[in-house]
Amino acid sequence: MKLELGIIPINDIQFGAESKVENGTIYVNADELKALILEDENLKSVELDIARPGESVRIMPVKDVIEPRVKVSGEGAMFPGMISKVAPVGSGRTNVLRGSAVVTTGKIVGFQEGIIDMTGEGSKYTPFSKLNNLVVVCEPIDGLAKHAHEKAVRMAGLKTADYIGKLAKDIVAEEVETFETVSVKEGIEKWPELPRVGYVLMLQSQGLMHDTYVYGVDAKQSLSTIIMPTEIMDGAIVSGNCVSACDKNTTYHHLNNPVIRDLFAQHGKTLNFVGVIITNENVYLADKMRSSDWSSKLCEWLGLDGAIVSQEGFGNPDTDLIMNCKKIEGKGVKTVIITDEYAGRDGASQSLADADAAANAVVTGGNANEVIHLPKMDKVIGYPEVADIIAGGFDGSLQADGSIIAELQVITGATNEMGFNPLSAR
């Protein structure tokens, strides 16, 4: 399967009379876009704002971040099963508005939502401070249940990203990135001397608004399965969860998964990138055992020599991570895990809720309990008072001068278990 990403650099976003992309700038007709979003009867109001790199702007609480893209050729359309019909994606050409993002915010849905600072100390920890962000502030109708509220905001973000992406369908890309996978048989024949490596992508699916969607299906309703890496890069997986901000794999993370990109960079050179196994993270022990059993079986069936396993979330999912690691190693497959740590503010506590001797190759995203001081911003898009109740914050996090003292986990993308580096997506 071959996917071409046509890169269209974006340097600015502005509001204008006509929605279009011109000379590296996205122009948005705010009234037109708001009317589209407000077709959802569960939303009472929508406001649009813009946050640019280096501006004294804070966005909170952050629900999701999405990169605008559009299918130019090939089967399917963006975000299949969510806002387009279910059809396989991952082939043909997709235009990418690189340097831009859609950020959703508004009244808090769940306490595990985050902060994006566009400048200052906090901006150093989030990749989204480097992007030109169109911020969608969604307010639900009175009395709306939390699950319906989450869905309304999620769909608003996807609709907005799709709306913006389609503005670039006929633009000639400045650069084309090509990613191609081959069949298992062809890979063995083509690179018999190279180690066969796969990626086990753990998807947050603990419920209670901790959900991830694959072709529109909640991941907890599925067993571990195989997916082509280019499908993920083409919008097959979207975020629908309110897990702690530093742990959350936003839709932007899925589209720009750095593990997939790095494996592609070495594909056919130092390793044979066989493919991706997606597996869920459920609450109950039986579900964890079932999913990890299937993940390890698929690694064995694919004849992998090595596997990279990344986690989303912390605490309860640490058990899934270690189960996957232990069982995959038990199949004779060398395993590297990617996680972050919750080692206490002094760094002296146990980093993970579970452990095993098989987990002897670990990439860490850092200690999410580290305390950070976020200076006052001139402008806040959203609601600053949630600083006292979001995960990583505490009663008194929001200071009288508008600054915030909290744990690093409040920052969206700060210590992400994908090992996310903003340079990987630029």
In sequence order, what DSSP letters do the residues of 226-265 get, joined into one string? EE-HHHHHTTSEEEEE---TTT---HHHHHT-HHHHHHHH
In sequence order, what DSSP letters do the residues of 124-148 get, joined into one string? GG-GGGGSEEEEEEEEEPTT--HHH
Q: What are phi and psi of 50, to 5 degrees?
A: -130, 135
Q: What type of residue is 404?
A: I
Q: Which of 138, 242, 246, 299 is catalytic?
A: 242
Structure tokens given for 81: 């099963």
For 68, 87, 99, 134, 237, the CA distances from 234, given in Å and listed in that order, are 11, 12, 17, 21, 8
> Long-range CB contacts (< 8 A, 24+ apart) of 404-407?
404/115, 404/373, 404/374, 405/371, 405/372, 405/373, 405/374, 406/371, 406/372, 406/374, 407/345, 407/368, 407/369, 407/370, 407/371, 407/372
Q: Assess whether 242 carries a catalytic annotation.
A: yes
Structure tokens given for 39: 């077709």
In sequence order, what DSSP letters do the residues of 309-360 get, joined into one string? EE--SSSHHHHHHHHHHHHHHHTT-EEEEEEEE---TTS-S-SSS---TT--
Pairing of strands 100-106, 132-140: parallel
335's CB contacts (< 8 A; 6+ apart) are 306, 307, 308, 309, 324, 325, 328, 329, 358, 359, 361
- Known catalytic residues are 242
